Amino acid sequence: MSESALREQIVRHGESLFTRGYGCGASGNISVVLDDGILVTPTNSCLGRLDPARIAKLGPDGTQLSGDPPSKEAFLHQSMYRARPDARAIVHLHSTCSVAVSCLADVDPADVLPPITAYYVMRVGRLPLIPYYRPGDRALADAVHDVARSHHAVLLANHGPVVAGKALDAAVYAAEELEETAKLHLLLRGAPVRLLTDEQVAELREVFPT
């Protein structure tokens, strides 16, 4: 896919995510890998009103080549790409239910959400919790890098999810599945729940590796 087509794809997905309530204001960011660098949504930009020509382009060394200044969390995307060479896109959202779950004190930090549905297991897999760092703290890059080598989705404590995919479509769909599962988890808290069994989860992970 050409760079111009990828820019348009970022705009379409950003608008769709924003319109459906997966982000608000200027929160969240999207990036896509190019042959000669990466595209990153600009800092303080609304995902619902992106201009394809103003999306930042960074070289392999992080130097800005064109567009507006990139998201202040571009370093987070670069760290995850280094950890996952097969990733071609990353979506970072401040989606309400995922952020709510990231604030809960009783979650398992090794795997935050339970296996409620097959599609969550298939598209997200395990979801580790990264300890809280202030926005823009470069130490977050190292924390994410260490975990991202074995997980393509992570949840930043009191912040939101970061999801990598082999294409932008895949990253977006996994981020959406994560948010919907977080919503289900909150709706079901306190109720008797029938989760997928260990055997069912193992079968899904064997047939649909993430």
Which tens digit of pLDDT belongs to each residue from 38-61? 999 999 999 999 999 999 999 998
Q: What percent of the chain has pLDDT over 90?
A: 95
- With residue 184 as reference, give the H or E element that holds it: helix 168-188
Q: Is 73 a catalytic residue?
A: yes
Catalytic residue among 3, 8, 15, 119: 119
Cα–Cα separations (whole angstroms), residue 114 to 90, 111, 166, 184, 201: 23, 7, 24, 10, 10
Distance of CA 175 to the CA centre of its chain: 6
Cβ neighbours of residue 142 closer than 8 Å, sequence gap 6 or more: 79
Catalytic residue among 22, 73, 81, 177: 73
Q: Is the whole model's pTM more than 0.75, yes or no?
A: yes
Q: Is the pLDDT of residue 210 over 80?
A: no
What is the structure's pLDDT at 175?
98
Q: Is 119 a catalytic residue?
A: yes
What is the structure's pLDDT at 209?
86
